[in-house]
Amino acid sequence: MAVSFLSPSAKDSRDPRDPKDRLIVALDVPGEAEALALVDRLEGTCRWFKVGMELYYAAGNSIVEQLRDCGLDVFLDLKLLDIPNTVAGAVRSVASSGASLLTVHAGGGPAMLAAARAAAEGPNAPRLIAVTVLTSMDAAQLSAIGINTDPAQQVLRLARLATAAGIDGLVCSPQETALLRRELGATPLLVVPGIRSADVPADDQRRTATPSAAIASGASMLVVGRPITQAADPSAAARRILAEIEIQAKQNA
């Protein structure tokens, strides 16, 4: 199955065959200075960076704009979840920052997702990616909040809800990627965290896979944090993952 990397409405010129357009490095650091220092340590090996809640709450749109000014792409991972009007307002507020991707929670329901989608129709708005089930959660964690179903089935339920609302893509763990490709086809952009090489600890992630396994199962983009950012040589760690992506992508072709 041919896997879609960018949505048809994407206005950039990124190449889905380039491994640099399939790896997102998570800047999970407490401030702007640390984030920019980490980008410098990567020595131009990576093109996409994730700005999550910790960094965004400290630096705001400034960090997104600085990364964009350097010619980099930003995955703004805010996991928006609120009433529809509030989420729509948040989407409009961050649109001017230049982020390429923005996350919302699929669990917000159809009305919230539709409101977010409508707010993201402007010329500078990011593509929306719906978070399904966090990679830190397994069946026991879901049961604790009253969801007594297999994580994969909950992911699929939320993924169908999001795609029906017109959301561009999904965040899912490596363990559900093949299922979503099979059930939803090649169109959705699948952004996959929980990536760990075989010799790297899982940390607080529950549902993980190696870069090769995730690409083989149909992932569009991989989000990698600590295996790169906490490595002795982040640039070398990133290059190893990029090489693994490239090898597996060629086998998929």
* Active centre residues (catalytic): 79
Residue with tokens 């994407």, as numbered in its chain: 10
Helices within 120-222 (DSSP H only): 139-144, 151-164, 174-184, 211-216
Cα–Cα distance, 238 to 136 (Å, whole number): 23
- Those residues whose C-beta lies under 8 Å from the C-beta of residue 11, and which sit 6 or more positions away, are none
Q: Which burial class, exposed, middle or buried, applies to 246 when counting CB atoms under 10 A from its CB (0-12, 13-18, 19+)?
A: middle
Alpha carbons 90 and 120: distance in angstroms, whole number: 10
Tell me the residue type at 19. Answer: P
Cα separation of 107 and 142, whole Å?
Answer: 13
CA–CA gap between residue 184 and residue 187 (Å, rounded): 7
133: left (phi over 0), alpha (psi -120 to 50) or beta: beta
Tokens of 161: 């809800």
